[in-house]
């Protein structure tokens, strides 16, 4: 029997609902329970795939090819449970499905309304694609009181009534701010937020109160009294030095104990949190430090590279070093003489991106890393820019470019028009829709025996997640390999280049996929682990 935990937020956004959901999932796992985590997003986009990174941050891609909210990355990193298409729903997708059903005549002439048709579709999503999970944790995006989230709040209210209180718990994340001039914590925002939630028929069962300092017992008693919640279920969600300490912090507050008590489930002793304590120890007390330059296009909003930043931290955890990230906007290197700002770094990483802006800066960063023998890691767009750089300066193709930026004499990188997925041919055109039309999800890749990446992975076949429209042109393979660039990973049919490397360089690898999406603190991705190891070697030379 699956029990459902709904996580809502109030007062302000960015209180950490996603981390709270992920941490609770990790705690319940540590007690031996099977969990599933989901995100209900109120925005009207069908998915975040066409949204600007500045608007939404990173787009997290699942194995089965869904473009989802970045919180699903937190869920996977904390629990190791692979997210699926069925774990993220938006208002846009709900309305698309409802309208499609209406056009087919599924509603048999009924007037289609938010209640019951939209709320029924949301409830159907909440309870779908579940098997033997003990808990399904559903985070509701946005803030209570937003007009966009009303159908979702109504749906979870109905769902809770239908399955009963013995199977549904509402957790509300709120804010208890400290007012310096008054010298005290204020509980009124939390009271109003819980009242707002109650106005739509939802009584919070547990309150997670974000605060910059411990909440005294008197304030907790006051919150409990006004919010109709037992005092032991009013918990302080305090800032911690690393997000990987959140499960430990919430356990110390009794979060998982109270969840089990609410559902009347046996408490069979302390959960095993040893791996989280080991991770926190390595993050807070490393044996050294390396400096990695991330040369990107969206560095003014670091959530654009959330999984990437965490994967680099994981590489540091694996090597017991602190990874200090230097975020650099690629456009700055397009000014003469500025590339010297990369002097002194121990590794250079060029991440994914779209569009022509800043591309020449990324190419210069790849050239700097290649010529100075600095470890280089190119991901997706970063691989393409490294190949263009090699074509221009090693293979004698001075006009090498990408058709993404318009007509080009030497399209070393070009638009993919067809590829194979699950033994079926997928086709695209330049005139097609943008949303959901990229090469998305997990695809296999064959590694060249004896290559650096084959040694790093320790296998001949890998499976990695993709999100791109453009691909390195296989027709340039022979010329580039003759110039010293090895195509060390290819699609099984040999048509799509997946990985390139420079064998006589200390560490120079470009990958078409996004390895950061599969990295976890307790299971760092092998490419990030080895990249940081190479950066440590470089730090000894600087």
Active site residues: 380, 514, 516
What backbone torsions phi and psi does residue 260 show, to the nearest 5 degrees? Answer: -65, -40
What backbone torsions phi and psi does residue 511 show, to the nearest 5 degrees? Answer: -130, 140
CB 166 within 8 A of CB 68: no
What pairs with residue 3 in β-bridges? 135
CA distances for 440 relative to 44, 73, 423, 467, angstroms: 21, 16, 15, 5
What backbone torsions phi and psi does residue 278 show, to the nearest 5 degrees? Answer: -65, -40
Q: Rounded to 5 degrees, what angle do the CA atoms 10, 16, 19 make?
A: 140
Q: Rounded to 5 degrees, what angle do the CA atoms 514, 520, 521 make?
A: 135
Task: Locate all alpha helices (DSSP H) within 303-423, ordered by sequence.
Answer: 306-319, 359-372, 381-393
Cis bond upstream, residue 269 (ω within 30): no
Q: Is 409 left (phi over 0), alpha (psi -120 to 50) or beta?
A: alpha
Please give the Cα distance from 241 to 288 (Å, whole number).
18
For 221-277, the DSSP string reads HHHHHHHT--GGGEEEEE--SSGGGHHHHHHHHTHHHHHHHHTT----S----HHHH
Of the candidates 376, 312, 286, 307, the residue with the CA atom closest to the CA atom of residue 529: 312
Query: Which residue in the block uniquely carries the two structure tokens 């009303």?
Result: 150
Please give the Cα distance from 215 to 220 (Å, whole number).
7
What pairs with residue 68 in β-bridges? 60
User: Residue 520 gets which letter from DSSP?
Assistant: B
Residue 55 parent element (H or E): helix 53-56
Largest CA distance in the chain: 75
Q: Is 89 left (phi over 0), alpha (psi -120 to 50) or beta?
A: beta
- Give the distance, in angstroms, between the CA of residue 504 and the centroid of all CA atoms in the same chain: 33
CB 15 within 8 A of CB 210: yes
Structure tokens at 169: 């718990």
CB 477 within 8 A of CB 400: no
CB 41 within 8 A of CB 69: yes
- Give the number of residues written for the chain: 542
Cis bond upstream, residue 116 (ω within 30): yes
CA distances for 532 relative to 317, 318, 320, 349, 538, angstroms: 10, 9, 10, 11, 10
């Amino acid at each position: 029997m699956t029990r459902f935990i709904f996580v809502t937020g109030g007062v302000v956004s960015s209180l950490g609902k996603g981390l709270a959901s992920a941490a609770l999932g990790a705690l319940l796992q540590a007690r031996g329970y099977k969990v599933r985590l989901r995100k209900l997003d109120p925005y009207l986009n069908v998915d975040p795939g066409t949204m600007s990174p500045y608007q939404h941050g990173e787009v997290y891609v699942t194995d089965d090819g869904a473009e989802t909210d970045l919180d699903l990355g937190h869920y996977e990193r904390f629990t190791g449970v692979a997210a699926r298409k069925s774990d993220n729903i938006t208002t846009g997708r709900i309305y698309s499905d409802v309208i499609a059903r209406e056009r087919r005549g599924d509603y048999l002439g009924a007037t289609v309304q938010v209640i019951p048709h939209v709320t029924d579709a949301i409830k159907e999503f909440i309870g779908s694609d579940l098997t033997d999970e003990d808990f399904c944790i559903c985070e509701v995006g946005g803030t209570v009181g937003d007009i966009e989230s009303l159908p979702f709040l109504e749906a979870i209210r109905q769902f809770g009534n239908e399955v009963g209180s013995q199977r549904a718990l509402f957790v509300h994340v709120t804010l208890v701010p400290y007012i310096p001039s008054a010298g005290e914590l204020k509980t009124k925002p939390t009271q109003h937020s819980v009242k707002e939630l109650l106005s739509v028929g939802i009584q919070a069962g547990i309150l997670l109160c974000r605060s910059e300092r411990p909440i005294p017992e008197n304030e907790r008693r006051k919150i409990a009294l006004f919010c109709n919640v037992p005092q032991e279920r009013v918990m302080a969600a305090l800032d911690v030095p690393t997000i990987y300490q959140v499960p430990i912090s919430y356990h110390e507050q009794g979060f998982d104990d109270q969840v089990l008590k609410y559902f009347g489930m046996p408490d069979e002793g302390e959960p095993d949190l040893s791996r989280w304590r080991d991770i926190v120890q390595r993050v807070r007390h490393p044996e050294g430090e390396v400096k990695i330059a991330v040369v990107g296009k969206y560095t003014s909003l670091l959530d654009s590279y959330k999984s990437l930043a965490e994967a680099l931290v994981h590489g540091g955890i694996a090597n017991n070093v602190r990874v200090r990230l230097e975020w650099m906007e690629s456009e700055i290197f397009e000014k003469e003489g500025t590339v010297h700002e990369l002097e002194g770094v121990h590794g250079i990483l060029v991440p994914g991106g779209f569009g022509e802006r800043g591309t020449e800066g990324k190419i210069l960063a790849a050239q700097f890393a290649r010529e100075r023998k600095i470890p280089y890691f190119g991901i997706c767009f970063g691989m393409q820019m490294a190949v263009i750089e090699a074509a221009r300066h090693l293979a004698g193709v001075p006009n090498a470019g990408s058709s993404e930026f318009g007509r080009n004499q030497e399209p070393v990188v070009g638009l993919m028009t067809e590829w194979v997925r699950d033994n079926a041919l997928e086709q695209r055109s330049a005139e097609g829709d943008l949303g959901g039309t990229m090469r998305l999800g997990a695809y296999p890749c064959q590694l060249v025996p004896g290559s650096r990446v084959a040694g790093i992975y320790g296998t001949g076949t890998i499976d990695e997640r993709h999100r791109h429209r453009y691909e390195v042109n296989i027709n340039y393979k022979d010329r580039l390999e003759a110039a010293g660039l090895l195509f060390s990973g290819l699609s099984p049919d040999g048509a799509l280049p997946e990985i390139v490397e420079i064998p006589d360089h200390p560490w120079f690898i470009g990958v078409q996929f996004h390895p950061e999406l599969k990295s976890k603190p307790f299971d760092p991705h092998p490419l990030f682990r080895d990249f940081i190891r190479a950066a440590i070697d470089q730090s000894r030379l600087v």
